[in-house]
Amino acid sequence: MINSVGEASDWIKRWSHLVPPHGSVLDIACGRGRHMAWFAGRGHAVTGVDRSSDAIDAVRHLGGAVLADIENGPWPLMQGTHVKSGMTPRTFDAVVVANYLWRPLLPTITQSVAPGGVLIYETFAEGNQTVGKPSRPDFLLQPGELLHAFSQFRVIAFEEGFIDQPAHFVQRLTAVNEQTALSPAGAPVRYSL
């Protein structure tokens, strides 16, 4: 689906079939909504969070739109009461992150993927400083970093390497917050590739 803000990432489109029909999708650092538009067009309830008021204004028509500085303020999507820690992050059937990295947020991202839900993550990696921006180490994943950060999930797909057009180094992960290794019928869960 092409929209006025560009086409959804090929990686995110490729793995969007793992999101249950009509499942809820959170787009972290949603920008002007290219992934929200993709999932909304597929019948999903979408929520986007971004610190830019212009971005949030641009995505309001797609679904939930949350204006928040997630790097300097509290996580804005909390729910319920947890016995020990109070509130817990609201969960979604899918969490999507593209071209964004804030390492202190990685545990919250983990907690935001509902049991049985999917995480689809794609961002810049070490080496990108040789071809352009971002170039600061704070914004570049180290080798295998997404695998380590989400090691409690079942990895469905992982890529790490260089892309020619446009030239950049990336790391991509699709993983499931798997409740069990067996389906209700007792067979292994099948994740279509």
Question: Model confidence over 73-121: pLDDT tens digits?
Answer: 999 999 875 556 668 899 999 999 999 999 999 999 999 999 999 999 9
Please say if the pLDDT value at position 3 is more than 50: no
Quick check: 82 and 88 in contact, CB under 8 A?
yes
Average pLDDT value over all residues in the chain: 91
What would you measure as the largest C-alpha separation in the chain, in angstroms?
50
Q: How sure is the predictor about 1, in pLDDT bands with cuts at 50, 70 and 90?
A: very low
Half-sphere exposure of 17 (CA within 13 A, CB side): 7
pLDDT at 165: 84
Task: Give, in words, the CATH class of 2-176.
Answer: alpha beta
Assigned token pair, 177 = 């917050």
- Residue spans of the domains in the chain: they are 2-176
* Residue 52 vs residues 33, 59, 65, 167, 176: alpha-carbon distances, Å: 12, 11, 11, 26, 29
Average pLDDT over residues 155-164: 96
Q: How sure is the predictor about 12, in pLDDT bands with cuts at 50, 70 and 90?
A: very high
Please say if the pLDDT value at position 162 is more than 70: yes
The whole-model pTM stands at 0.91
Q: Distance between CA atoms of 124 and 169, rounded to whole angstroms? A: 6
The one-character DSSP state at 140 is: S
The tens digit of pLDDT for each residue in 129-138 reads 999 999 999 9
pLDDT at 65: 96
Compute φ and ψ for 60, nearest 5 degrees. Answer: -55, -35
DSSP for 62-119, please give it: GSEEEE--TTTS--S-EEEEETTTEEEE--EEEEEEES---GGGHHHHHHHEEEEEEE
58: nearest Cα among 4, 110, 138, 12:
4
Beta strand 78-82 with 86-89: parallel, antiparallel or unpaired?
Answer: antiparallel
Please say if the pLDDT value at position 122 is more than 50: yes
